[in-house]
Structure 1
Amino acid sequence: MSASKKIKLEEKTSVCGFIQHVSPIKTSRTNNKYFNATVQVQRDTFKKVACFDVMKHSTLVEASQARTPLKLTDVQIVPSRLDSAKTEVLVNYKSRVEVSRQLSFSYQKSTEDDHDSAGEKFKTLKEVQNTPEFNKVAVEVKILSAKEVSVQIVRELPIQKQEVIVGDSTATMKLTLWDEMVTKLEIGKSYRLNQLSTRLFQNVKTITATKATSIESIDDLVNCLQAPEDNDVIEKEGKITQVGLVMHFSCEMCKGKVALPDDDSKFIRCPSCKMKMAKETLQKSMNGTLCFSYGYQKVKLSIFSSTLFTMCIANHLSVDNAENIEDFLLSNSFRVAYSNETKNVQNIVHLTNVAGVNQ
């Protein structure tokens, strides 16, 4: 591509048309928030859109649903990241979005990206592992193993959570299920799971169910990889001698961390996406470090929200007060299961009326 051609591609311009197939907000490999869409620019012509201003997401979603024609001003026409032979519309925070008053063509539904934008495009687990987080995917997998149901607090309410290991012929992955989907999948059976979302935790790619996730039973998958052996889990009874817990709050839209103000205001603005919201809509999490002693052994462990909140619910503790939870942990004996490799607590059970617990 010549220099003059490249400059021309990157000039600011305006695009008018109907917005379609607006994706959920995603996170790029460079940790930037963005979303994709398609814009109909002529009767039978469609262009990809990449928007790096998440504040425009709701506007484009509403325009797509209402079939309202839009004018996108101060955008760039750049080479497509998926196909360098094509171009796409690049929208950023300097771009303006307004209703287009006149178009020479009527709305025509694009079918090119229906499955891809809705998360219906089938992927192998190996392909999912190479997919950026917060992308929608569909998979066909066998359920290899499942952990016990735990509890997590979302919007001040406890919801059920279950982690299962799924596999196909290319890889195995952890899948997180929520509320009504918990216990719906049976070990040893195969399913097609639509509208899952990718996540990245401790540098490990996982998938999670969403409100739109659907489950379809399919014929048994053969040649599936086996679930990795969980033979590094240590379970002991003992005392917690030191503990430090920290409560975190995050924005439901962009997942960015939000610091609660000291005043009694009802609303708060996310410093990442700049959206204002009621305090009770913030997502709550808690993690920390503890020193666990059993026999003559002492080990430093990390503990995270799902494990802590499950313990709190089981023992009728409020999840809003880290100090009280710390006091409870220091004042009682526990059976603790943790990974010998990562030193993460996987389960913690309060021991009542248990004799002979090592101090």
Structure 2
Amino acid sequence: MLEDEVVVGHLHTVSPMKTSRQSRRYFEATLQTGREAFNRVVCFSPEKRDEFVHAADNGQSMKLVGTRKSISYSNPGGFDVLVSSSSRLDVAGELAFPRRAPHTIDRLTIAGILALGPRQRVEVMEVRVLQVIENKVVQVQGTPVELKKFEVCDATGQTGLTVWDRLIMAVELGKCYTFSSLSTRKDGDRTVLTTTPSSVVTTTGQVGQPASISVMPVRGEETLRGPVTGVQIVAKPRCPRCHAGQEKLDVKLSTHRCERCSILQRTTAYVITYSGLLIVVGGDGEERSMVLSNSAVFAFVRERFLSGSAHDGPALEETVIAIPEVEVTINAEGLVVRFAEATVQGGQGNVLEAEQPSMSYARETGALVRDDESLGDLFQKD
């Protein structure tokens, strides 16, 4: 990384303020540094944003003094420009290349993804979900976070996609989606995809598939029926910006200041996430202790219309333990991916697939509302 660089170019598209994983406030901009060259600018000095917006709106050529150049993962072979409080934004003279808007972002294909290296940003792509490979909970910064791995494809090829946390409930097997703001990773020799904090997913029309599809090995699931002898459900609100868990949020108040990033937000913006344990006596008379996934608890709440107590872990525990018999689906990791009240043997079972939108706190009543913000891998870097 080079220090005290001077970079000259035309400024375009200044972003709104954002918050990093370390709770630092920053914004981004696009700087045209050549006829066909565009570089990302990252500024950690919020007070400079008005200057950047003014320069971009007026089409001025600018000189960024006292910056640093960093390797860019979103622009292979290029660089990002890092701006700090000691950097300076000056008007530049006439440049040797004309001002022009960046190219419209094209949708990448999976064939294009497979040619990329790791940690490169993928702006937009459309995929078909072929297969669920794995569902598990991992600890990230002391917080249990759920992830789900899929195989996805388009007409040009097939690869893996890891979907994190709340986006899990927006992705269903066999359906087609448009994803934005993904990132690449390496799984052996294959380039795969993961959601990021800024990922957005929407349903889309039909997406093609290649002439041949590889079926990946999947460890099986197990179904267990029996009475519940113990349950623990933790319902924790998380900040939609820095994603920190909140210990003092009061659902009766209209606003709450995040306990990590200190941003005051409407209480309805905070998103409920679940974790916990379920203990069931199986057919062999032995107790089984299993980890509850966020998506499984969410599906249970939706199926039983428990929105009024969705924020209340103890109330949900009382509901679960009062059920005479439950039917539980456990994956190979010992994670509960579905559970519901068992029906008479031979029936279809009242088991809801855990594929629903996420939930937010609602003012005063604690009722559930749709969370339209699509945040993905909440703890992964772009």
Q: Which interval holds the TM-score relative to the shorter structure?
A: 0.5 to 0.7
1:41, distance to aligned residue in structure 2 (A): 6.3
Give matches, 1:278-289, under 5 Å.
Answer: 278-289=266-277
Q: Distance in 2 between matches of 1:71 and 1:274?
A: 34
| Alignment partner of 1:335 out of 324, 327, 340 | 327
Partner SS for 1:277: strand
Question: Which amino acid is 1:310 matched to?
Answer: A
* Conservation of the 8 A alpha-carbon contact between 2:29 and 2:40: yes
Q: Distance in 1 between matches of 2:289 and 2:115?
A: 36
Q: Distance in 1 between matches of 2:289 and 2:48?
A: 43
Partner SS for 2:227: strand
2:338 corresponds in structure 1 to 347
2:130 corresponds in structure 1 to 144
Larger RCO: 1 or 2 (CA < 8 Å, sep 6+): 2
Partner SS for 1:310: helix
CA 1:60 to 1:274, structure 2 compared with 1: closer, same or farther past 3 Å?
farther
1:11 corresponds in structure 2 to 4
Partner SS for 1:10: strand
CA 1:36 to 1:101, structure 2 compared with 1: closer, same or farther past 3 Å?
closer
Alignment pair present for 1:120 and 2:113 = no
CA 1:302 to 1:279, structure 2 compared with 1: closer, same or farther past 3 Å?
same
1:79, distance to aligned residue in structure 2 (A): 4.7
1:10, distance to aligned residue in structure 2 (A): 0.8
1:316, distance to aligned residue in structure 2 (A): 2.4
* Conservation of the 8 A alpha-carbon contact between 2:246 and 2:259: yes
1:156 corresponds in structure 2 to none
Alignment pair present for 1:238 and 2:223 = no
Q: Percent identity?
A: 14
Count of aligned positions: 315
| Alignment partner of 1:293 out of 281, 287, 291 | 281
| Alignment partner of 2:296 out of 307, 316, 320 | 307
Q: Distance in 1 between matches of 2:59 and 2:262?
A: 25
1:320, distance to aligned residue in structure 2 (A): 1.8
1:239, distance to aligned residue in structure 2 (A): 1.7
1:222 corresponds in structure 2 to 211
CA 1:61 to 1:254, structure 2 compared with 1: closer, same or farther past 3 Å?
farther
* Conservation of the 8 A alpha-carbon contact between 1:120 and 1:194: no
Q: Distance in 1 between matches of 2:319 and 2:181?
A: 37
Give CA deviations for 1:280-328 in whole Å, capped at 9, x if unaligned.
1111111112222213222221112221121122222231211111111
* Conservation of the 8 A alpha-carbon contact between 2:182 and 2:195: yes
Partner SS for 2:244: coil
* Conservation of the 8 A alpha-carbon contact between 1:237 and 1:294: yes
Question: Which amino acid is 1:307 matched to?
Answer: A
1:76 corresponds in structure 2 to 67
* Conservation of the 8 A alpha-carbon contact between 1:38 and 1:46: no
2:313 corresponds in structure 1 to 322
Q: Distance in 1 between matches of 2:199 and 2:77?
A: 34
* Conservation of the 8 A alpha-carbon contact between 1:195 and 1:214: no
2:361 corresponds in structure 1 to none
2:264 corresponds in structure 1 to 276
CA 1:131 to 1:228, structure 2 compared with 1: closer, same or farther past 3 Å?
farther
Question: Which amino acid is 1:344 matched to?
Answer: L
* Conservation of the 8 A alpha-carbon contact between 2:61 and 2:93: no
Give matches, 1:149-298, under 5 Å.
Answer: 165-167=151-153, 169-173=157-161, 186=174, 193-195=178-180, 197=182, 206-207=194-195, 213=202, 215-229=204-218, 231-261=219-249, 265-295=253-283, 296-298=285-287
Partner SS for 2:317: helix
Give CA deviations for 1:237-286 in whole Å, capped at 9, x if unaligned.
11221222212222223333333346965323334444321111111111
- The RMSD of aligned alpha carbons is 5.1
1:180, distance to aligned residue in structure 2 (A): 12
Q: Distance in 1 between matches of 2:38 and 2:233?
A: 49
Q: Distance in 2 between matches of 1:323 and 1:214?
A: 35
Gaps of at least 5 residues in structure 2 are 134-147, 186-191, 347-382
TM-score for both structures, normalised by structure 1: 0.64
Give CA deviations for 1:118-138 in whole Å, capped at 9, x if unaligned.
x73334565789447xx5444
CA 1:69 to 1:276, structure 2 compared with 1: closer, same or farther past 3 Å?
farther
